[in-house]
Chain A
């Protein structure tokens, strides 16, 4: 009711109103918390690389803990180790990233055209299969590749390739740049596919028909109209995909580390396991820098060009399918085959591998249920019991579900609140700042983000306890890393709720909290629910974000699976990754069932 007397209030009255307005209060609290959880960790990471650590007296006699030094940056950029530490991995990251991106974009672009613009049959069920490689953990694809092309030269048992052909695969096929690029491409082509498909779907086919009427042939229309119109979106997709590939950790680690092939992301992990924390942080900052540059580039393209490429659509927008004619079935078969090889075959391979008693020995008598249901047997896998009897795994499953569930809910609710503030207080600079801070985690490659949190909560600061090694820390980092997506989902939902719905409740005397709870939340629930499911699946398959923060008591399925893979317990890691893959697929199915899920997913992938 105070609102009606605004004009009679004095200046101090306005101030009083501004701070008692619950929205402003919530906004300020969120700003402080997010600044501490997003911006401060980055600054602290930077400080860590520029000051001497406690144990650094061993490295240099000049080291005074807490004093400024450029030692680590010099060591990384110009020291004798710099080739191995920085430039080698940097080059590897660029090579695998660029190769994978180009392959992913080609495959994604062609498939998007087939699905969106042509009359190819079977689209309805091909589309979900085509997105499978992006839904399952990237590391599942790496393990499947290894199952086929494992080379005994590097150690371990032979893969399917050797078992069938009798000779081992050449090393370049087993480990290093080639397999990493291919598997990265397989994992990310659905991402590119969704981006390009989104752009293609906005093309008004009247634009092409108009060219046809002017007398242009099909090819000329494709060259002068269709390609140029999607080009900016395509370019943006290219850069975003590249930005995603460079942050990948598990996949290049599995297929690179055995051959001493490192990318910047795996080098961060390797340095931390060696106790070279400051060097690892330098690399994490390099990684963040790469990510920032790529996103800045993509925004430049999108910002400068697509704005004027906005398809002007009013009434009469139509999208017509292009008849493939005689090519209809051959193209369908090719796409279906491709979808099977990249979407389903890897999961089958993991399944088969997980029931082989002795890895690499292919025969019916070698099949066993041991790794799924067996009790501990000292002769097999160092006495590790099958996954369904393994207490570590049961605990990890519980942790995984708990983490995913709690994080998804918190991220969605906070995301909705931030979205509400952003939409309803669009003219308040603080609201815009909040929106931007919530977006920042998107810019951090996940492994670098994990590295930041390593130092953040190592010791108690004021009222905040030391959180390292606790489940709470995992929840916090998962929530913060999901915020960019959940805010996007929330903004879409809140924008659709008319301001007057809320004003009506305000006139009825409802407080802000009540309005938010009774009007905003129910009306945005369907969008937010699917966003929540997306977060749930996302957290469940996350590895690189939390791999640095896990302790034995907080293990989740992905980290246990990664641990087994590191130790060479192939069947167990395969079984575990398969479980995660199945869980994520179930999550995606629920999402599709919720219906609006597809929209929410697209939104996530386009942000």
Chain B
């Protein structure tokens, strides 16, 4: 019922394209996360949806209603779009009590006082602020302020939620708890949610789909697991995942064999992508190591061992190639040790080095990508 369609949206700030021909369909009730490094246009896109920013080109449709169209010269003001927003700084009004902050939206809608009061009690109770209604925002902790911002969003029950890095002002622990709560409120309200963040953990854990943006353009739209397992280009592959993906540039040994190498490492990827220069994307967990049994030419040396709770990160070096792998916490590798290396070939993603885009295993696609 509240599907959002974004069509060919463009927004320029003094020659700089903050949004470049962005198109996107957001399903009703979806939790869509806009993810990207700073300056990628994610906040601009959110502000365009809110109506706080006027795009130069394109159109936005919410449900049945065109809320923005450059061609038809339509620009519905923010208050008439029937949506709620949580700002990065929360934007609580410092001269109003918690209760008045939450009540403001209901006042604008001219909700009768008894109805408004019931709603306020419900919402404040829901977010756990029942007892703090008469406080002023500056008398609250960061987490409580965050809840007021949330209550303010929930009070008018809008079908669309917009959130601009709402958790970035909280400390790490609180952020974890709030993620769970945000998710709960969103699914109870069944609201279509667009959520901006630069924190990939937030994106992965909360979203139904993630939109990765860079330089005003959409790089990939996928559910989080697919985003991790099958990044569509090397930018996304590199941006998503902690520790970082290994991107290894290799050259074909000859045009028909699936063997590629770079002098330090040679790899049989098991199929022929049809390019001479490829970049292999290997997640740290897709490389496994074991103690060297037979001494040979292709041995990697461990240059660092970084224990990290349930897992241990191991850095390997050979010649100019450095790889990161993730092993179980109880493995006993030590720095300086030489190890054998094996790849989980089926999990690898192959990119054309020239374009940086994913080569699918369909041979017809392969030729185009190169």
Q: A and B, one complex?
A: yes
Chain A positions near chain B (C-beta within 8 angstroms): 204, 206-207, 209-217, 220, 224-225, 228-229, 231, 307-318
Q: Once bound together, how far apart are the Cα atoms of A216 and B152, in whole Å?
A: 14
Contact A224 B104 (CB under 8 A): yes
Complex interface: chain B residues within 8 A of A213 (CB)? 50-52, 78-79, 81, 83-85
By the criterion CB–CB under 8 Å, are A215 and B80 in contact?
A: yes
Contacts A209-B87, A228-B93, A315-B165 aside, 6 further interface pairs with beta carbons under 8 A come to A214-B156, A215-B79, A228-B96, A308-B136, A312-B138, A316-B88
How far apart sit A207 and B108, CA to CA, in the bound complex (Å)? 15
CB <8 Å contact, B168 and A315? yes
Is B109 among interface residues, defined by CB-CB distance under 8 A?
yes
Q: Are B94 and A214 in contact (CB under 8 A)?
A: no
Whether B138 lies near A215 (C-beta < 8 A) is no
Residues of A within 8 A of B84 (CB): 213
The majority secondary structure among interface residues of chain B is loop
Verify B91–A204 contact, CB threshold 8 A: yes
Expressed in whole angstroms, the Cα–Cα distance for A166 and B88 within the complex equals 65
Is B92 interfacial (CB-CB < 8 Å)? yes
Contacts of A217 in B (CB 8 A): 79
Q: Tell me if B145 counts as interface (CB < 8 A to partner A).
A: yes
C-alpha spacing A231/B137, complex, angstroms: 17
- Shortest Cβ distance from B357 into chain A, in angstroms? 34
| Cβ A310 vs Cβ B94 within 8 A | yes
Given A212-B77, A214-B79, A316-B164, are A206 and B91 also a contact pair (CB < 8 Å)?
Answer: yes
- Chain A residues, CB < 8 A from B342: none
Nearest 6 A-B pairs (CB), nearest first?
A316-B88, A215-B79, A206-B91, A214-B105, A316-B89, A210-B91
Contact of B138 among A207, A228, A308 (CB under 8 A): A308
Within B82-113, which residues are at the interface with A (CB < 8 Å)? 83-85, 87-96, 104-105, 108-109
The residue on B at minimum CB distance from A225 is B93
Collect the chain A residues with CB atoms within 8 Å of residue B51's CB: 212-213
Q: Is the CB of B78 within 8 A of A209?
A: yes
| CA A387 to CA B78, docked complex, whole Å | 64
* Selected contact of A212 from candidates B78, B90, B165, CB within 8 Å: B78
B169 touches A309 (CB 8 A): no
Residue of A nearest to B105 (CB): A214
Residues of B within 8 A of A308 (CB): 94, 136, 138-139
Cβ–Cβ contact B104 & A211, under 8 A: yes
Contact A314 B169 (CB under 8 A): yes
CB distance from A381 to the nearest CB of B (A): 59
A210 touches B87 (CB 8 A): yes
- Are B108 and A312 in contact, with the CB atoms below 8 A? no
A207: chain B residues at CB < 8 Å are: 91-93
- Identity of the chain A residue whose Cβ is nearest the Cβ of B81 in the assembled complex: A213
Cβ-defined contact, B138 with A216, below 8 A: no
Select from chain A the residue with minimum beta-carbon distance to B90: A312
User: How close is A156's CB to chain B, nearest CB, in angstroms?
Assistant: 53
A249 to chain B, nearest CB (A): 38
Q: Please, could you name 28 A-B residue pairs with CB atoms under 8 Å apart, sorted by A?
A: A207-B91, A207-B92, A207-B93, A209-B85, A209-B87, A210-B87, A211-B104, A212-B52, A213-B78, A213-B79, A213-B81, A213-B85, A214-B105, A214-B156, A216-B104, A224-B104, A228-B96, A307-B138, A309-B95, A310-B138, A312-B92, A312-B94, A312-B137, A315-B89, A315-B165, A315-B168, A316-B88, A318-B89
Residues of B participating in the A interface, judged by any CB pair closer than 8 Å: 50-52, 77-81, 83-85, 87-96, 104-105, 108-109, 136-139, 142, 145, 152, 156, 164-165, 168-169
| Shortest Cβ gap from B180 to chain A (Å) | 22
Return chain B residues, CB-CB under 8 Å to A316.
87-89, 164-165, 168-169
- Rounded to whole angstroms, the CA-CA distance of A324 and B104 in the bound complex is 26
Q: How far is the CA of A217 from the CA of B79 in the complex (A)?
A: 8
A214 proximity list for chain B (CB < 8 A): 79, 104-105, 108, 152, 156
Question: Within 8 Å CB of B165, what residues of A?
Answer: 315-316
Q: Given A310-B94, A311-B94, A316-B169, verify A215-B89 contact (CB < 8 Å).
A: no
List the B residue with the shortest CB-CB distance to A211: B104
A185 to chain B, nearest CB (A): 28
Beta-carbon contact of B89 and A314 below 8 Å = yes
A312 near B89 (CB under 8 angstroms)?
A: yes
The CA of A454 and the CA of B311, in the complex, are separated in Å by 81
Q: How far is the CA of A216 from the CA of B104 in the complex (A)?
A: 9
Q: CA A313 – CA B90 in complex, angstroms?
A: 9
Per the bound structure, the CA–CA distance linking A313 and B94 in Å amounts to 11
Chain A residues within an 8 Å CB radius of B81: 213
A336 to B50, CA, bound (A): 36
Question: Whole-angstrom distance between the alpha carbons of A211 and B156 in the complex?
Answer: 13
- Other-chain contact of B108, A216, A311, A314 (Cβ < 8 Å): A216
Q: Which residues of B contact A312 (CB under 8 A)?
A: 89-90, 92, 94, 137-138, 145
Residues of B with C-beta under 8 A to A314: 89, 142, 169
CB neighbours (8 Å) of A307 from chain B are 138
Task: Determine how close the nearest CB of chain B comes to the CB of A321; give it in whole angstroms.
Answer: 13
With both chains docked as a complex, state the minimum distance between the C-beta of B342 and any C-beta of chain A, in angstroms: 44
Contact B105 A317 (CB under 8 A): no
Interchain CB contact under 8 A, A204 and B89: yes
Q: Give the nearest-CB partner of A214 in chain B.
A: B105
What are the residues of chain A within 8 A of B137 when measuring CB–CB?
312
Closest A residue to B137 by beta carbon equals A312
State the Cβ distance, A232 to closest chain B Cβ, in Å: 8
Contacts of B105 in A (CB 8 A): 214-215
Contact of A209 with B91 in the complex, beta carbons under 8 Å: yes
Which of B92, B156, B169 interacts with A315 by CB under 8 Å? B169
Closest Cβ of chain A: how far from B60's Cβ, in Å?
15
Tell me the complex Cα distance, A309–B165, Å: 24
Assess the B95–A228 pair: CB atoms within 8 A. Answer: yes
A209 to B90, CA, bound (A): 11
Bound together, the chains give a CA A312 to CA B83 distance in angstroms of: 24
Report how far A228 CA is from B101 CA in the complex, Å.
13
Tell me the complex Cα distance, A381–B108, Å: 71
- What residue of chain A has the Cβ atom nearest to residue B136's Cβ? A308
**Contact partners of A315 in chain B: CB under 8 A:** 88-89, 165, 168-169
A227: nearest chain-B partner, CB-CB? B95
Residues of chain A contacted by B169 (CB below 8 angstroms): 314-316
Given that A210-B85, A308-B138, A315-B168 are contacting pairs, would A215 and B92 also be in contact in the complex, using a CB cutoff of 8 Å? no
Minimal beta-carbon separation of A222 from chain B (angstroms) = 13
A103 to B199, CA, bound (A): 51
- B80 neighbours in A (Cβ, 8 Å): 215
A309 contact from B50, B94, B142, Cβ within 8 A: B94
Docked-complex contact A229 and B93, CB < 8 angstroms:
yes
CA distance A256 to B280 in the complex (A): 88
Residue among A214, A310, A315 with most chain B CB within 10 A: A214
A217 — nearest CB in chain B belongs to which residue?
A: B79
Kindly list chain B residues whose C-beta atoms are within 8 Å of the C-beta of A318: 89
Measured CA separation A204–B81 after assembly (Å): 22
**Identity of the chain A residue whose Cβ is nearest the Cβ of B88 in the assembled complex:** A316
B212 to chain A minimum Cβ distance, whole angstroms, is 21
User: With A211-B104, A217-B79, A308-B138 in contact, do A317 and B85 touch (Cβ < 8 Å)?
Assistant: no
**Cα(A309)–Cα(B138), bound, Å:** 7
**Which residue of A212, A213, A311, A318 has the most chain B CB atoms within 10 A of its CB atom?**
A213
- Closest residue on chain B to residue A221 by CB atoms: B79
Contacts of A215 in B (CB 8 A): 79-80, 105, 108-109
- In the assembly, what is the distance between CA of A391 and CA of B85, in Å? 72
Q: How far is A312 from B104 in the complex, measured between Cα atoms in Å? A: 18
A322 CB to nearest chain B CB (Å): 12
